Amino acid sequence: MDAQEKAAVAAYRARLRGEPGVVASAPGRVNLIGEHTDYNGGWVLPMAISRRTAVAMGDGNMAYSGQFREVRALSGPKDGSWTDYPRGIVQSLNGTHPVSIAVMSNLPVGAGLSSSAALEAATALALNGLRGYGLDEVRLAELCCRVENDYVGVRGGIMDQYISLRARSGTALLLDTQSLETRWIECNFVRAGLSLLICDTSVPRTLAASAYNERRQQCEQAAAMVGMASLRDANESDLERLFGIYRQRARHVVTENARVLAAAGALERHDFTEFGRLMSESHASLRDDYEVSTPELDTFVDLAIRGGALGARLTGAGFGGCAIALTPRGQVQRMMTSVRSEFARRGFQEPVFYEEQASEGARVTPFDS
């Protein structure tokens, strides 16, 4: 077991006064490119990161979180707290059989690195192991996505849960979110002398859920206007049949899908210059057409490009959270210093930085107490 898994087991024993039967953990993710395309049936290119959420699980009906430092009932109705994510999983998969969980994580909450999907994935995998349901990772990802859509109420796509459950170390995943066809692509930035620098702007994504649902609704309306089930099948000529905000939203989705496929090809060719260019184009589209960026995200992206990054963009839903930059490793420290200084000058919150490589997906460990 890794540090988070050991901590979850220890927390279960100390806080819930019992012995867990299983522990599972799942990673957060960075989406390299392909934002707001998954719920439109398009393509995405995520990778898992090393930061993880661990869930120790046994019989009972309570939930403890080390990040929130509280114990709550896991059974019962939705209450708008962090427990809704595991509660929805348990109620959907486990029926009336109660369980208790202890959750430990080193993923920042609300930063756009999919802490919620990691919690869902780890809970689902632990429950699958504890009860012996025999569900594979794809079915578990579909379950987690339904819970987030229908129970929690955030109408996202399947990307976050899918990559958390199925990631492979050293690879990014080109995922067709409509067919769930996948292509694993080697993603070794270190070998190329590069670092994937994550900047958590420390802007909480407090409006992300409502704005996210609004963007999805606008895309569905745009698709209906051109007589399509989703914008996945739209092309640039279809944009001429749209107007105003609907054209803007659809233009982002159409061009972003094309960028994802081009970026996957560039990554396979180890053409990191082209890959970085596409990252930066993606950010401009998210900023201007999809309108999900913030001054802090834009400032980081601008400074990263001026500081020598091959490309930079916000990652996740936007409205705060994180941005990423593909940066020569020798320039990382100078870039972080520059960003901290400029954020302070503008009165922004102090940013937090992580350097990441493509990491492994979720895992479950049964054990004897």
- The model carries a pTM of 0.92
Distance CA 58, CA 20 (A): 4
Name the residue type at position 356: E
Of 187, 204, 228, the residue that ends a domain is 187
The verdict on residue 365 lying in a domain is: no
| CATH classification of the domain holding 316 | 3.30.70.890
Report pLDDT for 227.
96
The verdict on residue 362 lying in a domain is: no
Same domain? 48 vs 78: yes
Report pLDDT for 119.
97
Same domain? 143 vs 178: yes
The verdict on residue 105 lying in a domain is: yes
The verdict on residue 202 lying in a domain is: yes
- Cβ-based neighbours of 177, under 8 Å, separated by 6 or more: 37, 38, 39, 41, 42, 43, 44, 157, 158, 159
**Inter-CA distances, 308 with 198, 243, 271, 273, 311, Å:** 15, 37, 16, 11, 9
What are 226-283's pLDDT values in tens digits?
999 999 999 999 999 999 999 999 999 999 999 999 999 999 999 999 999 999 999 9
Same domain? 349 vs 201: yes
pLDDT averaged over 10-residue windows placed end to end, the chain, 369 residues: 94 95 97 95 96 96 94 90 94 83 92 90 96 94 93 86 96 95 94 96 73 91 96 95 97 98 97 98 98 97 97 93 96 97 97 95 81
Tokens of 223: 């698709």
User: Would you please indicate which residues are annotated as catalytic (active-site) residues?
Assistant: 160
Same domain? 41 vs 95: yes
The number of domains in the chain is 2
What are 5-14's pLDDT values in tens digits?
999 999 999 9
Report pLDDT for 206.
60
Of 168, 187, 206, the residue that ends a domain is 187
Of 187, 214, 238, the residue that ends a domain is 187
What's the domain range around 332? 190-356
Tell me the angle at which helices 84-94 and 115-131 cross, rounded to the nearest 10 degrees: 30
Same domain? 8 vs 23: yes
Report pLDDT for 42.
96
Same domain? 180 vs 208: no
Same domain? 200 vs 127: no
Which one-letter DSSP state was computed for residue 331?
G
Same domain? 128 vs 102: yes
